[in-house]
Chain A
Amino acid sequence: MPTSKNIALIYNRYVDDMYAYALHLGFNEDTVMDAIHDVFYKLHINRVSFENIYNPKFYLFRALKNRLIDICKESKEYLGLTETPEKISESMPFRLQVTIEDEMIREEDLAEIRQKVENVLNNLTDRQREIVYLKYINEYTYEEIAELMQISVLACRNLLSKSMTKLKALSKPILQDFPFIFLFIHIC
C-alpha cells in the first residue's frame, strides 16, 4: 500500500506528463487537476502497489483517461445524452502545440518551420494526432496506445499508416528544390 509520502513522490514524477496529456485532450486546467487528484486518491483507497506495475506511467495515463471519460459522461448525462466510453473517447479533440526554441535559427525561419510542422499535424485527425503524441513524445508501444485509446492494435497501426499516406501525398519531394541550391552555391 502506498503511503502518502510515496504517493507524493509518484505524483511529482508523473504529474507533468499527465497534465499535458489531459490538456491536449481539450480539458480545462481545473478539470485536469481534479481528475489527476482523483486518480491518485483512488490509487490510495484501492491500495494499489506500484511495485507490481510494469509501467507506472502507462498505468497512470490509462487511469487518467478513464477518469476523463467518466467526467465527460457525467456532463453529457447532465445534458440528457448517454454515450458509450468508446464514443466519448472517439469524440475527444486532440490539439498539439508546436514550439521551437533555437538560438541558431533566425526568427522568420523558425516561423516557417513551425508552420510546416503544424501543416503536417493539422492534416491528421484528432486520433491520429493522439497516436503521434503518444508514440513520438511518450514513446509508447502500439499495444499500449491501443489500450489507452480503447481500440485494437491493428486499428492503431492502420490509423498511423493512414496518417503517413496522407502526409506523403502532401509533401513535395525535396529534390525538386535542390538543383536551385546547387546553382546558387556555384554562383557564389
Chain B
Amino acid sequence: MQNKHKKNDFLRFLKDEKFIEWKLFPSDELTAYWENFLQEHPNERENMTLAEEHFRNIRLSSYSLSPEKKEEAIIKLEHSIHTFNTKRKILRVLYVAAACAAIFILSVLYIRINNNQPKADAILSDYIVGSELQSENIRLITNNKTTSFQENINIEISNTGVARIKTDNENQEDISMDEKTLNTLIVPYGKRSSLTLADGSKVWLNSGSTLIFPTQFTENNREIHLTSGEMYIEVAPDSQKPFYVHTSDFNVKVYGTKFNVSAYTDSPQSVVLIEGRVSLQHGNKQETFLSPNEQAIYADNGTFNKQKVNVNQFICWKEGYLEFDDTPMEDVLLQIGRYYNLSFNYDKNTSLKGHTCTGKIILFDNLDNVMTTLALISSTTFTKEGKQIYITINPNKTSMPMEK
C-alpha cells in the first residue's frame, strides 16, 4: 500500500504550478527554490526525478502535418518553381533576341548610311511629294450594264454563265452574264481583284488593270485582252483550245502555264514566266519563246529583251507584299503608288536618282505602316500632311540637301 502511494507521489509535483513553471522556464530563483526543497526533503529526490521524466510527456503543441498533405504541398511548390524557371528561361531568350535584333538593326542602318554617303553628292532637289488620289470603284461591265464595287472582289464564272462575286467582307452577289458579248473588268489604282474564268484558269489583277474576257470560251481559241495594267495567270491546260493573252503591244500564246503580264502604260510591257512555256509575238513578227524564270521586256521596235529574273519579285504582289532587290527608288514608288492609288511627283534630277531599295514591304491596309517600312529599308524619312506625303533622303554628315 505504502509502495503504491509512493509510486504516485511524483504526481504531486506534476500538479504543482510552481513546478510546472520551473520546468517551462527555469529561472535562478526557481532553481534555488527547488534545490532548497530537496535539501529539506531529501527523500523526495526520487519522486522529483520521476516527475521531471514524466513532464517530458507534456506537449504544448500537437499540430502536425499529415504526410499526404506534406507531399501535396511539396508537389505544388515544385510546380510553382518549375513554372517560374520556365518563365525565366523564356525571358532570358527574349532579352538575348531583343539585344541581337537591336544590334542587327543598328548595324544595317550604319552600313546603309555609310553606303549612301558617296551618292549623296548628287543630291539636287530636296524631296518628293506624294498625294493620295480620289478613290475609285472596281467596275464589272457585262450586258452593257455596269456594276460597281468599293472593295476588292473575287469573281468566279460558272459553266452556266453566272458570275459569283465575293468581296473581302464575305458579301456575295450573283450576276448572270450574256454569252455573246464580252465582259470588262476594270480594277482602278488602289484596288485588286481575282477572277476565275469559265475554263478554270485563274487570273489575279493588280491595281490599275483592265481585262476583257468572254463569259464562255466557245471559239477554237481561248482569248482574253489585258488592255492595261498587270495580271498573273494560271492557265488551265486544254490542248484543244490554245490560250492567248493580248496586250496593246503583243500577244502571248500559252501552252499551259503560269505567268505574269505587265502592261502598264507608264512602263515597258513585260512578261515573266513562272512555269510551262509561252511565246510572245508582236504583230506578225517572229515568235519569242520564254522559259521559266525568264522575263521578256518589249522594246518599241517590236522585239523583246530576255533576261533571267527572280520571279518571286514579279508575282509577290498577289500575295500581298512587294519584294525589292537593289530596285531603283523610282520603280519602288511607282509600284507603291499603284497599289495605294498615290501619285508621286518629283524632279527628273531628284535626289533619289541612283538611290536603290532592297527588302520586302508587306502591303498592309494601313499606308502609314507601309511608308514606315519603306522609309526604313530605303533610308528615307517621310512625313504625312493630309493627303500629301513628303519623302526626304536621310541627311548625313557629308552634305545637307537643304543647303541647295
Contact = CB atoms under 8 A, between A and B. Distances in A.
Interface string B283-322: 0000000000000000000000000000000000000000
B17 A167 contact: yes
A23 B25 contact: no
Interface residues on B, range: 35 or more
B60 A136 contact: yes
Interface residues of A, number: 59
A119 B21 CA distance: 11
B15 interface: yes
Given A174-B13, A174-B37, A15 B60 contact: no
A37 B80 contact: yes
A133 B81 contact: no
B41 interface: yes
A98 B60 CA distance: 4
A4 B82 contact: yes
B88 to A, nearest CB: 9
Contacts, number: 143
Provide the main secondary structure of the chain B interface. helix
Interface of A: 4, 7-8, 11-12, 15-16, 19-20, 23-24, 33, 36-37, 40-41, 44-45, 96-102, 104-105, 109, 112-114, 116-117, 119-121, 132-133, 135-137, 160-161, 163-164, 167-168, 170-175, 177-178, 181, 184-185, 188
Interface of B: 1-2, 5-6, 8-9, 11-21, 24-25, 27, 29-30, 37, 41, 54, 57-65, 69-70, 73-74, 76-78, 80-82, 84-85
23 contacts: A7-B78, A8-B78, A12-B70, A15-B73, A19-B65, A24-B63, A33-B73, A99-B58, A100-B57, A101-B59, A109-B15, A113-B15, A119-B17, A132-B25, A133-B61, A136-B25, A164-B29, A173-B18, A174-B13, A174-B19, A181-B9, A188-B2, A188-B5
